[in-house]
């Protein structure tokens, strides 16, 4: 007598095991982070004692613990939503309802993708609101009004629909029109979309949410332009962003691609750092460009997305893939949207298991960018800038080592500053 499980039941139990394992691993890591930070909240590390007060250190600990608790809540909530969409039949019911309304065809497929993401966004709204108006506000970082928060959400939804739905329609059409190699054409469309987005973002999308003004400080602008010239970096301009409208956090970044590259400074950054320290922060970002980190990540992203779409191309032809996740596929019509959505829900479950590799690579890139900044501006300016940013952004100085391995894309403060030599208090 054959006692082997049917393929769809085996896939169901594999999915459940992967979901439970990923959630337990995240819970263990979050719990470690909370305990470790709480255990060290009353003792400033010796290297930082001259620069960080006990009150500032305790504030950073409280902020980190609250963020980690919220992250744990979000992980549990996301797992519950995932089970609702799959094993409890949510996606199947939504698909059947749209089939009865629109019939089989591309409009129904696009509507399914749009409805899925719209419902998902609504389900995530309560925790997003809590993060902004409870967590960030309680720790003195939120500057957003409810009106601005709603406006940002509506504009974000409109941009996502304007960009995402045509791309989804193209991919879904390719699924049925391009034959077995549809995934290759979909990959080419995806890469073209991302390249176009890099060109459009600084000039079209970002200004919908923030105001960007050319850097008015002539002395600082001259320093920045001198640094760019010294590093052989060409940019379309140096802009100040009104980050203080939304948050008290400070940052700087480069955005765009090719001739659309821009240097963007948060107004909060200009308020907190000296000119030499701003140079150091920008030199760090230039270090990423010098070492081609963005290009390398784009290449790896392209290879990864190509492999993922090839896997999806095979899975989409397996009936057990649908039945095992609580969905009844069509035997005569297209299952493109169902395959795309199910795959997009399952694939991230593996993310936590490969996170240490990608986090380690990211931290390596940050160290390289730091070394480049030191070569251009010296260690003192960068150390002073990092110290100020860690302190003012309430970043914990005592994270759990295992949590760092999995989730820290940037090195911890102690490790990063130790490589720069003795920390000097900003003047």
293 marked among binding-site residues: no
- Nearest CA among 303, 285, 305 for reference residue 294: 285
- Nearest CA among 208, 282, 222 for reference residue 251: 282
- CA–CA gap between residue 53 and residue 251 (Å, rounded): 23
Phi, psi of 411 (to 5 degrees): -60, 150
Q: 92, 136, 279, 285: which one is catalytic?
A: 285
Give, in degrees to the nearest 5, the angle at Cα 167 between 164 and 173. 135
Query: How many residues would you count in the chain?
Result: 427
366 marked among binding-site residues: yes
Place of tokens 């003792």: 43
- CA–CA gap between residue 316 and residue 318 (Å, rounded): 6
55 marked among binding-site residues: no
Place of tokens 């003004």: 213
- Nearest CA among 150, 410, 134, 143 for reference residue 267: 143
Place of tokens 């784009």: 298
Q: List 263's β-bridge partners, or say none.
A: 238, 254
Q: 92, 370, 392, 400: which one is catalytic?
A: 370
- CA–CA gap between residue 261 and residue 241 (Å, rounded): 15
Q: Which two tokens stand for residue 360?
A: 């380690």
285 is catalytic: yes
- Secondary structure (3-state) at 86: coil
E strand segments, 267-374: none
370 is catalytic: yes
- Taking the alpha carbons of 191, 196, 199, 200 in that order, is the dihedral positive or negative? negative
Q: Which residues are annotated as a binding site for Zn(2+)?
A: 284, 288, 366
Q: Which residues are catalytic?
A: 285, 370
């Amino acid at each position: 007598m054959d006692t082997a499980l049917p393929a769809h039941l085996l896939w169901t139990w594999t999915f459940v095991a992967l979901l439970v394992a990923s959630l337990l691993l995240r819970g263990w890591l979050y719990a470690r982070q909370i305990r470790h930070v709480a255990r060290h909240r009353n003792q400033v590390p010796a290297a930082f004692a001259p620069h960080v007060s006990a009150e500032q250190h305790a504030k950073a600990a409280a902020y980190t613990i609250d963020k980690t608790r919220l992250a744990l809540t979000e992980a549990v909530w996301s797992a519950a939503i995932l089970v609702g969409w799959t094993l409890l039949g949510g996606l199947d019911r939504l698909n059947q309802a749209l089939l009865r309304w629109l019939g089989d065809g591309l409009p129904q497929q696009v509507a399914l993708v749009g409805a899925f993401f719209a419902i998902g966004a609504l389900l995530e709204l309560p925790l997003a609101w809590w993060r902004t108006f409870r967590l960030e506000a309680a720790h003195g970082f939120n500057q957003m009004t409810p009106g601005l928060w709603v406006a940002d959400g509506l504009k974000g939804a409109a941009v996502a629909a304007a960009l995402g739905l045509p791309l989804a329609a193209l991919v879904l059409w390719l699924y049925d029109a391009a034959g077995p190699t549809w995934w290759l054409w979909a990959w080419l469309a995806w890469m073209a979309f991302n390249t176009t987005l890099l060109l459009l973002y600084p000039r079209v999308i970002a200004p919908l949410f923030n105001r960007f003004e050319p850097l008015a400080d002539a002395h600082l602008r001259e320093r920045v332009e001198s640094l760019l010239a010294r590093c052989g970096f060409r940019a379309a301009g140096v802009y100040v962003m009104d980050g203080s409208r939304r948050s008290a956090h400070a940052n700087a970044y480069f955005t765009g691609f090719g001739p659309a590259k821009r240097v963007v400074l948060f107004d909060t950054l200009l308020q907190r750092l000296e000119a030499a320290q701003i140079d150091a922060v920008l030199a760090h970002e230039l270090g990423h460009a010098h070492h081609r980190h963005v290009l390398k990540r784009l290449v790896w992203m392209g290879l990864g997305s190509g492999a993922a779409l090839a896997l999806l191309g095979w899975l989409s032809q397996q009936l057990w893939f649908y039945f095992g996740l609580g969905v009844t596929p069509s035997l005569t019509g297209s299952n493109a949207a169902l395959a795309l959505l199910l795959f997009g829900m399952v694939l991230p479950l593996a993310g936590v298991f490969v996170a240490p590799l990608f986090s380690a690579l990211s931290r390596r890139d940050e160290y390289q960018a730091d070394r480049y900044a030191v070569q251009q501006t010296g260690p003192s300016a960068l150390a002073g800038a990092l110290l100020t940013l860690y302190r003012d952004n309430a970043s914990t100085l005592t994270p759990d080592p295992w949590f760092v391995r999995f989730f820290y894309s940037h090195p911890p403060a102690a490790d990063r500053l130790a490589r720069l030599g003795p920390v000097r208090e900003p003047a």
